[in-house]
Amino acid sequence: MKSALAANAPIDEASLRQLAQQRAQSVQQYLDGKINSSRVFIVAPKLNPDGIKDKGATTRVDFGLK
């Protein structure tokens, strides 16, 4: 099923970037009013697993504190 989906519904980098941006905006909207908005930032998405050294899933969202 996975290979059939991949063959018939290819995903390009622009689509992945748009999906990542939409997800980030949804999280930002959810956090609005719960956390001071000056502390919430959206950074450019990483679209590949390069640099992920742990054994966690490579398809994930990373949150950080500054």
Residue spans of alpha helices (H) in 1-66: 2-8, 13-31
Walk along the chain (66 residues) and give the pLDDT tens digit of each residue: 888 887 888 788 898 889 889 999 999 999 999 988 888 888 888 877 787 787 777 677 777 766
What is the chain's length?
66
Cβ–Cβ under 8 Å, residues 45 and 17: yes
Start-to-end C-alpha separation, the chain: 42
CB-facing half-sphere around the CA of 52: CA atoms within 13 A: 13
pLDDT at 65: 65
pLDDT at 29: 93
